[in-house]
Amino acid sequence: MGRRGGVTAPTPGGDRVTRTPPIRPVVLCVLDGFGLAPAGPGNAVAAARTPVFDALWRGSPHATLAASGPSVGLPEGQMGNSEVGHLNLGAGRVVMQSLSFVQRTIDDGSFFENEVLTSVCDAVRQGDRTLHLVGLVSRGGVHADLPHLFALIDLANRRGVGRVHVHALTDGRDTPPDSARRYLGEVVEHIARSDAPARIASVIGRYWAMDRDARWERTERAFDAIVCGDAPHRAASADEAIAAAYARGETDEFIAPTLITAADGSAAGMVDGDGVIAFNFRADRARQLTHALLGDASWNAFDRCRTPRLHFASLMRYDRTLDAPFALEVPELHRPLGEVIAAAGLTQYRTAETEKYPHVTYFFNATVESPYPGEVRHMVPSPRVATYDLQPEMSAEALTDATIARLERHEDAFVLINYANPDMVGHTGVFAAAVRACETVDTALGRLVEATRAKGGCLLVLADHGNAEMMLDGAGGPHTAHTTNPVPCVLVDEPTGVTLRTGGVLGDVAPTVLELLGLDVPDVMTGRSLLVG
């Protein structure tokens, strides 16, 4: 299928693209966490009754896409995730990810000369205050990575900081649910090996400290522990804190805030003049706690126990609306799919429930917060439950209702919809719930296919990374993390004679959408269309 000629339209950068108004809309449907793997124990995708997806796979052009490792800008063997997936999907190229970018600066030494990081360390040293390192202590590589924390400890040591307190947020979501003891042990070993004046000052499950859905009561619990030294539990060591949490029935993600007392029995907090470096490199789950730390007197999401004046920096930029120093920023991405569609004078619709709304907007738009002209956004609230195994249907039905209504009433050229269920329920490790999540999405997909066909449109159905297809680990325990498995890509109601090529990656999807729309692919989009014929 070739690109069609037609009307020219200017782009914001002054370029021109040639377009023919699309005859029908293109719907990009992301089944989040719906990876492919052989059927067997723990594969909720294969175990689920998915007659709609199965029929599409049998009867439509389809292929598998690589969604992990270097294919999406990550290190070899590193699992993909929703942020990475949607960045690649929208950018139309392989995007170097923050994980790799930060590590490169550590490897070349520029990390240790970074002016933002060194200025925080120097201010703390000069004021004889404490440097607090706050972030996810994990080798999951999704939000943070242990070598980055080690580099910060080393940097503080080199700059002569006298006290470093590590506030360890435990994972259990992108890592096994009982792996925190191993990771915290690595931190303790690194501190001892480097003879740094550092210690672990608190242990808090990410459930509390890394909420992204305005459940501020969770953020408040983490804030109270980190800032005011007020937590429900205390322990003499990080290992003791983990052991006590497991005895209470808490896995890593849900560890209640626990203060690690100093030798004199005191617990850490923050005071005026202290420094804070937030070392998560991914923004979405770092924002709430950051806003709580930095918000001025008008900030009122909850009543803060204390508002110390801090020397703050984050490893990466968390929020363009937040006036806070950040150390590193990956190179800006130009001409993502949304911008190209807008420049052609076409409208587009982005929709997801709360959990994945940033991904279909901010991340898909190459970390641009504001919508492009003609870009309409709609968020359906995620259910207010503690964990999504309690409601694996999530908000899929309401999301589908709203999208069908949009299709029926408007003439959008492009629709992006994300179904969060396989990923969010997969993270709970509850197999039966993950099966139900996949079945729910299949039912919703059937309705979406019918509505798109009624509109005369075509669909690309795919996933951004794997998860629900692997619910058991090698020992038969729950597997709650993402996977490195390939993901499906199905072209529904394709143009006559068109098939999909093999060997594709997520960065090939945007050029594919543009070809279906009859729009030229910008030179900066180095991905290749998946269409053949």
Q: Degrees (nearest 5) of the Cα angle 494, 413, 319?
A: 115
What is the helix, strand, coil percentage profile of the chain, to 5?
Answer: 35, 20, 45
Q: Is 122 left (phi over 0), alpha (psi -120 to 50) or beta?
A: alpha
Relative to beta strand 487-492, strand 62-66 is: antiparallel
Task: Please tell me which residue in 68, 71, 82, 179 is annotated as part of the active site.
Answer: 82
Radius of gyration (C-alpha) of the chain in whole angstroms: 24
Extract the tokens encoding 17: 């693209």
Ordered DSSP codes for 307-325: ----EEEEEE---TTS---
Residue with tokens 């929703």: 82
**CB half-sphere exposure, 499, CA atoms < 13 A:** 6
User: Three-state SS for 153?
Assistant: helix
Look up residue 379 and give its amino acid. Answer: M
Query: 500 φ, ψ to 5°?
Result: -110, 140
Answer whether 377's CB lies under 8 Å from 342's CB: no
Listed in sequence order, the residues at least 6 apart from 101 whose beta carbon sits closer than 8 Å to its beta carbon are 328, 330
d(CA 307, CA 299): 11
Extract the tokens encoding 489: 């890509």
CA 81 to each of CA 16, 60, 427: distance values in angstroms, whole numbers, following the listed order: 34, 26, 12
What per-residue string of b and e applies to 362-385 under the rule 16 or more CB within 10 Å gives b? Answer: bbbbbbbeeebebbeebbbebeee
Active site residue 82: yes
Query: 419 φ, ψ to 5°?
Result: -100, 115
Ordered DSSP codes for 215-254: -HHHHHHHHHHHHH---SEEESSHHHHHHHHHHTT--GGG
User: Three-state SS for 270?
Assistant: coil
Question: What residues are annotated to the active site?
Answer: 82
